[in-house]
Structure 1
Amino acid sequence: MSTFIVGLTGGIGSGKTTVSDFFAELNIDIIDADIAARIVVEPGSKALVAIKAHFGADFIDHNGQLNRAKLRSRIFSEPEDKAWLNSLLHPLIRQEILAQIAQANSSYCLLVAPLLLENNLHKLVNRVLVVNVDEANQIARTAARDPSSVAEIKRIIASQMPSEQRLSFADDVINNQDTSLEDIRQQVIDLDKKYQFLALTPL
């Protein structure tokens, strides 16, 4: 029987990690696209070798790891480099995600991907769950947790799908606007009941 997959997405600073952590507390397997993206560029990987050849040795740190901050800065300013990187990594990340989904043991699994819709990963899932919050909260929350400047955070938000467009893809929405952690937890519990039922229903 194929695995029932819920795709979790939302803009930067929306609270995706908080939501996925609550699902994990309910023993739901979490597949994180960001972790998959790190796996495919581990030291010694073909992808990292290709990145070094394309961008130069200074994009690899002294531990042999990808210098993510430097690469992020480069691809934000160079669209052609971003397109090259995406064509290299997206198929590999998709392959890694599918391998992890195949190993999932819970009644359904959660695919967490900030760019679920932008990268067409929503085509892998049965339902799309969007964590929604306004831009002011996105900026405040991201600035509180990351060393990024407000200007950089705004550039990241601008590079992501607009909130209204993202919501148009949503089957379910978690409201994280001025919401307590307990409210978020209750929304997750309610959705878990729905997904448990849907996972048992023939597709």
Structure 2
Amino acid sequence: MTPQQGSDSGRVARPFAVALTGGIGSGKSAVAELFSALGVTVSDADAVSHALTAPGGAALGPIAETFGKKVISADGGLDRAALREQVFADPAARRRLEGILHPMIRARMQAELAADPGPYVVLGIPLLVETGQTDMADRVLVVDAPEAVCIERVRRRSALTPEQVRRIMASQASRAERLAAADDVIENTGDLADLAPEVQALHKRYLSLAADG
């Protein structure tokens, strides 16, 4: 799917779109920041989700109706810890939550994409493969790293134990599933200095693809 197909199929024209994804601890946030530093608009699914569940957010009503008012905090926003207790170990509850949030997040990101004047945008979608949203973008960029590296990164930056990180990984798509969906891959086994040249090279490539599209 390309931006130019919009005029032929009746869809709203939009910039060239790159979906950025990766597992926990892979470094996708660092990659997103590097694209942003190059002047590329980055629409982040997690940021959209937080906005939808902040006080007054559009998702709060449906979530409270589904999971009870106890998941709403004293300030009127989402009590993430209370909600996590209900959905983390219950696949059916997690699917109900996803059924509320994911369509709202997708619609908000599509609106941001359609409104962007740049040659291309990056859509940061951590659960891109899990939610089957690869159709939102023209290319899929996966940030990848070995499991042991990801676990150590998360352990250093949070209070999670390695076993807790492994449980989160088990609830996500596997490395093989993400790589199978990838058009481009950044192997993030080093530090930030190693990432910058790879992002710059991809930036040039995406500008060229957007111009040719």
Aligned with residue 196 of structure 2, among 185, 188, 200 = 185
Once the 2 structures are TM-superposed, how far is the Cα of residue 17 of structure 1 from its aligned partner?
0.8
17-26 or 43-52, which moves further after superposition? 43-52
Structure 2: gaps spanning 5 or more residues: 1-12
* 1:29 equivalenced with 2:41 (yes/no): yes
**1:8-19 pair list within 5 angstroms:** 8-19=20-31
- Per-residue Cα deviation, 1:34-93 (whole angstroms, up to 9, x for no partner): 111122223234421222232222211111110112212321112221121111111111
AA of the residue aligned to 1:170: A
What CA distance in whole angstroms lies between the structure 2 residues aligned with 1:197 and 1:129? 16
What CA distance in whole angstroms lies between the structure 1 residues aligned with 2:161 and 2:116? 37
Aligned with residue 75 of structure 1, among 61, 64, 87 = 87
**1:122-137 pair list within 5 angstroms:** 122-137=134-149
**Match in the other structure for 1:120:** 132
TM-score of the superposition, structure 1-length normalised? 0.94
**Match in the other structure for 1:198:** 209
- Per-residue Cα deviation, 1:109-134 (whole angstroms, up to 9, x for no partner): 00011101111221110000000101
AA of the residue aligned to 2:15: T
What secondary structure is seen at the aligned counterpart in 2 of 1:5?
Answer: strand
Aligned length: 201
Percent identical residues: 39
* 1:87 equivalenced with 2:109 (yes/no): no
Aligned with residue 44 of structure 1, among 48, 56, 61 = 56
* 1:149 equivalenced with 2:161 (yes/no): yes
The answer to whether the 8 Å contact 2:24/2:169 transfers is yes
**Match in the other structure for 1:111:** 123
AA of the residue aligned to 1:165: E
Aligned with residue 53 of structure 1, among 65, 71, 77 = 65
- Per-residue Cα deviation, 1:120-170 (whole angstroms, up to 9, x for no partner): 221110000000101111111111112223222111100111101211111
What secondary structure is seen at the aligned counterpart in 2 of 1:161?
Answer: coil
13-22 or 45-54, which moves further after superposition? 45-54
Structure 1: gaps spanning 5 or more residues: none
AA of the residue aligned to 1:145: R
What secondary structure is seen at the aligned counterpart in 1 of 2:131?
Answer: coil
Dislocated runs of 4+, deviation >6 Å: none
